[in-house]
Structure 1
């Protein structure tokens, strides 16, 4: 397959490497020449595209891609204007391409911080985080067949939760974990490609939701990091983002059912 990864960061690089190793042809965009060189060394066709700054887009319009994976970030710290400008440029870029299937990596941060089980339809649009929703909406409006994957916290390989809290006070230890391993992100995208799915919105999160303090403890033991000095129990938000819908639709079996296995 010919696959384009737009915004080839940590997740995209893992996926690109795995896809190239299995014979797929991969194109990618990134924001620096140094990253483009590293991607080229992995066997990708890479181009520097910064949607915040604009500039000239690569001339890939003559190709038809089997799939386009969009991994362009949104953070709450950014202004609405910045996000709108970025995604307007992204829509323009995608508009010059031809592709059969498309994916956008969003975030479970789009859901309110509440205790309870959350599916893709639990909240009305007005209840979702407006900046994160704006990116999804701009892309879905332009491409109604877009698949939106709302990813949990990203972990795997060198991304180890314990390293961030070693020797510190951890204030989130009693929250439930809504995490996902990068291996499962890749597996879910490949399963959706094989099924030819269009226009889906899925929560991409481990089915099991231990407390974050237990995830930290397990990864500290496994990878040799110091434990936090203490865990504050001030925040006990039991937010549980459910992947039940994608499991049912794809009959998908997670490689990592629990963050305790990372």
Structure 2
């Protein structure tokens, strides 16, 4: 079986290596020639491919001659207009239809849920007016619309672990919200989750994929600081003000998946 990964980045590259190890034929894309050469050296068939939001340069048609397309590109909402990523997804949807791709996985995020002091599940009625991330929700809806392919949408929590230590991003900062529960997933479990979807044929579903345990940000940031010797936040919100959300992973757990890291307090790092 052939799988094409659009976006061989921080998650896509180790995913490609793992799926090759499992016997899949993997193709993938990057936007940089220097990175393409590194990926080719790792044995990953890699094409230059960029959506800006239209295709830049020549379309690498072999990338879309595949059984499964995994879309793993960041929405770039801080640098691009809100409609930029949906336009990218519309382009990809056109290619899915043109090349008659049968199965699609879209990597979304739990940021689609608004922070409303709530436990968020996949049954939440999200609309452009009621979402934490209109760009991602629009992209999801574009892929679901009148589809001719099997589709699974993954809403990952914050992707961390390995060289990404959450407490480091808040070291020394003032007035940090320490009370909200975290919704994180280790990169290793994210890779394992995508493999699980393929193995178990979990299609035409949306899954929240986050650690089952949700310690408070303060607890995690203080532990990271103690473990790695950097400063914790200088101060925390007092009284706590920031609204929060806790993302339920119950639907995902019911598929039989077991986490290597049940809690972000257990994450392994390679700083």
TM-score normalised by L of structure 1:
0.90
Q: Deviations over 1:133-177 (max 9, x none)?
A: 111111222635210001100101001112212222252322210
Q: Distance in 1 between matches of 2:62 and 2:177?
A: 44
The residue aligned with 1:88 is: 90
Greater alpha carbon shift after TM alignment, 32-41 vs 102-111: 32-41
- Relative distance call for 1:236 and 1:81 in structure 2 (3 A) is closer
Contact 1:61 1:96 in 2 (8 A): no
- Relative distance call for 1:130 and 1:166 in structure 2 (3 A) is closer
Q: Distance in 1 between matches of 2:194 and 2:160?
A: 17
Q: Deviations over 1:52-95 (max 9, x none)?
A: 15132112178442x22111222443323323322222223333
Contact 1:161 1:216 in 2 (8 A): yes
SS in 2 for 1:20: helix
Establish whether residue 134 from structure 1 lines up as the match of residue 138 from structure 2. Answer: yes
Contact 1:75 1:132 in 2 (8 A): no
Contact 1:173 1:212 in 2 (8 A): yes
Greater alpha carbon shift after TM alignment, 6-15 vs 146-155: 6-15
Q: How many residues align?
A: 260
Contact 1:57 1:93 in 2 (8 A): no
- Relative distance call for 1:225 and 1:17 in structure 2 (3 A) is farther
Greater alpha carbon shift after TM alignment, 108-117 vs 221-230: 221-230
Q: Distance in 2 between matches of 1:228 and 1:108?
A: 25
SS in 2 for 1:4: strand
Q: How far has the Cα of 1:190 moved from its partner?
A: 1.4
Contact 2:4 2:63 in 1 (8 A): no
Structure 1 unaligned blocks of 5 or more: none
Greater alpha carbon shift after TM alignment, 54-63 vs 133-142: 54-63
Q: How far has the Cα of 1:187 moved from its partner?
A: 1.5
Q: How far has the Cα of 1:236 moved from its partner?
A: 4.4
Establish whether residue 211 from structure 1 lines up as the match of residue 216 from structure 2. Answer: yes
- Relative distance call for 1:166 and 1:100 in structure 2 (3 A) is same
- Relative distance call for 1:189 and 1:170 in structure 2 (3 A) is farther
Contact 1:7 1:70 in 2 (8 A): yes
Q: How far has the Cα of 1:46 moved from its partner?
A: 0.6
Q: What are the within-5 Å matches in structure 2 for residues 175-194 of structure 1?
A: 175-194=180-199
Greater alpha carbon shift after TM alignment, 232-241 vs 143-152: 232-241
The residue aligned with 1:69 is: 70
The residue aligned with 1:58 is: 60
Structure 2 unaligned blocks of 5 or more: none
- Relative distance call for 1:245 and 1:112 in structure 2 (3 A) is same
Establish whether residue 113 from structure 1 lines up as the match of residue 115 from structure 2. Answer: yes
Contact 1:74 1:135 in 2 (8 A): no
Q: Distance in 1 between matches of 2:43 and 2:101?
A: 21
How much is the aligned-residue C-alpha RMSD, in angstroms? 2.1
Q: Distance in 1 between matches of 2:64 and 2:261?
A: 39
